[in-house]
Amino acid sequence: MNMHSERFERVRSRIKAACEAAGRNVAEVELIAVSKLHSAAAVRSLYSLGQRAFGENRLQEALAKQRELTDLDISWHFIGPVQSNKTREIAGHFDWVQSLDRLKVINRLSRQRPEGMPPLNVCLQVNIDGEPQKAGAAPGDVWALAESAAGAPRLCLRGLMCIPRLTDDEDRLRRSFARMRELFLKLRADGFNLDTLSMGMSADLEIAVAEGSTMVRVGTDLFGPRGA
Ligand SMILES: *Cc1c(COP(=O)(O)O)cnc(C)c1O
Confidence of residue 228 (pLDDT cuts 50, 70, 90): low
- Spacing, Cα 82 to ligand 1 middle (Å): 16
Q: What sign does the CA torsion over 158, 188, 195, 116 have?
A: negative
Q: What is the pLDDT of residues 182-217, one digit of tens each?
A: 999 999 999 999 999 999 999 999 999 999 999 999
- Spacing, Cα 38 to ligand 1 middle (Å): 12
pTM for this structure? 0.98
Residue nearest to atom 6 of ligand 1 (CA): 219
Residue 116's region, left for phi above 0, alpha for psi from -120 to 50, else beta, is alpha
- Spacing, Cα 23 to ligand 1 middle (Å): 26
Identify the helix (H) or strand (E) that includes residue 38: none
Closest approach atom of ligand 1 to CA 161: 13
Which residues surround ligand 1 with Cβ inside 6 Å? Answer: 34, 36, 57, 79, 163, 201-203, 217-221
